[in-house]
Chain A
Amino acid sequence: MPREWTIKGDYVEACNCDVACQCVWLEPPDDDVCEVSLAWHIEEGRYGDVDLSGVDVGMLISTEEGVMFDTETEWDVVLLVDETADDDQREAVEDIYLGRAGGIWAPVADTHVRSADVATVPIDYSRDGMDFSVDIGDVIEMDASAAVGFNEEVGTISPHPLTQSHEVQTGKSTTAAVSYDDRFEWDVSGNNAYLGDFELANS
């Protein structure tokens, strides 16, 4: 049964690169590996009949050495689903983010994902203007704000793959610490963050 989906809301990521992370220019990351935590607050969303409004989602990606989007680079992924989500919502989030339901995550899953864990965790996501603060169980602690450049203006990065407009704001983390299952352990505080509104769909 075909199911169309659409989700939109707030988004923030924080990685090990300096400001701004070069993966969107298909260049090798700092230290040649990517360790990134991503978090979404879905304000409005649906997957078929399932309402996804209000659901929070987290993700960890750790890559092998090399350019993140090079076809040969393999990723290990952890999907973190809000414990307040019901079963249908949890399945929907898994389908979407693990690339089983089309959209940009489908080619990613097909091309890159070597391992994918799913965990249900408490997620505390808050946004105040361009300041983001996300706590995901014992797994992610992430605080990030927009990076302000000349004329006190927030920088914009385009094209960025994770929103329909292809535009996100440049940012910097104050905290970006991750701990999951011994395999995903990093503290990349004070480095790159991309943040802003997001909108994704599969049609």
Chain B
Amino acid sequence: METDDSFRERITRRRVPIVALVAYVIALGAWTAVVGRWLPMPGGATDAPMQPSEPGVPEAMALSNGPSGIALYLFMWGVMMIAMMYPSSVPLFRLYAETLAGTTTAGKAARVGAFLGTYALVWTLTGVVPLALNALVPIAGLANDHGGFLMGGSLLLLSVYQLSPYKYRCLRYCRSPLGFLMTHHRPGVRGAVRMSGEFAVFCIGCCWALFAFMVIVGSMNIIWMALIAVALSLERTVTWGEQLARVIGLLAGITGCTVVALSVI
């Protein structure tokens, strides 16, 4: 029967994880752009004595170059967010794509595109926070004069948040993509935008303290970027993710206390 054949075809085709592959390739592209320094620096000048991986430097360069500097900083921040957040969000992207079986290819692409795009956009906009902070208190100057306190303080903030109930309320949604989808699923492109926005907010709730720490150690520091990306991916995917979040909180607390104590002495 005709319907039976087309049905079987659909089942076999469903096994090709196109959405997962696309998300991983985009994330890989973003990592390549960051590691290979393909991104235009917000300040434009690459021969400046300041290293963009130093604390506060990208933010200061962005702010000293007006609207174009800020736009470039947010673009750079957005690419970094895609690199760090997409890999661990693949399970949700994939499950969402499955809800679209039966929709036309164009309809499916529009909805998945809206989902991926909104997620990246919301995360890109969080880049306004380090810029605003830096406009109030230049991080680079603080890092030079009171590096110990700054680093220790951000570690203590990270520790408190990692061990707080808010962290686990958000992490629960990030760790259970199906749970999120079951309780937030909405149809259509607008539904995709709304759902993805809500998911991004939970992810920000889950990870903001890690990123605050990253800004303090240097928001373009590739080593820290990679470490934090691995930590947040494990928190969200492995069965011992919640315990890991607590261990990170404890380690950050101990290190933070030590760093502050050393800079007092």
Residues of A at the B interface (CB closer than 8 Å) are 1-5, 24, 26, 69-71, 91, 95, 99-104, 106-108, 110-112, 159-161, 164, 166, 201-203
Contacts and interface: CB of A to CB of B under 8 A. Distances in A.
B250 to A, nearest CB: 26
A108 B178 CA distance: 8
Contacts of B157: none
Given A102-B100, A159-B184, 14 more contacts: A2-B104, A2-B105, A69-B176, A69-B182, A70-B176, A95-B7, A103-B101, A104-B181, A104-B182, A107-B99, A110-B98, A166-B184, A203-B111, A203-B188
Interface centre among B10, B182, B187 (most CB of A within 10 A): B182
Contacts of B184: 159, 166
B246 interface: no
Given A69-B176, A70-B176, A110-B95, A91 B182 contact: no
Interface in B1-28: 3, 6-7, 10-11
Q: Closest 3 CB pairs between A and B?
A: A102-B101, A161-B182, A107-B95
A94 B13 CA distance: 19
Contacts of A69: 176, 178-179, 182
A156 B104 CA distance: 35
A201 B107 CA distance: 14
A26 B179 contact: yes
B186 interface: yes
26 contacts: A1-B6, A2-B104, A24-B183, A69-B176, A70-B176, A91-B3, A95-B7, A101-B102, A102-B100, A103-B102, A107-B98, A107-B178, A107-B181, A107-B182, A108-B178, A108-B182, A111-B95, A159-B183, A160-B183, A161-B183, A161-B185, A166-B183, A202-B102, A202-B187, A203-B103, A203-B107
Nearest to A200: B187
Contacts of B182: 69, 104, 107-108, 161
Given A26-B172, A71-B176, A106 B99 contact: yes
B176 A5 contact: no
Given A1-B6, A70-B176, A100-B11, A203 B95 contact: no
A4 B186 CA distance: 15
Contacts of A71: 176-178
Interface string B85-112: 0000000000110111111110100010
A102 B10 contact: no
A106 B104 CA distance: 16
Nearest to A109: B98
A101 to B, nearest CB: 5
Nearest to A105: B99
Given A26-B176, A108-B178, A203-B107, A103 B183 contact: no
Interface in B172-226: 172, 176-179, 181-188
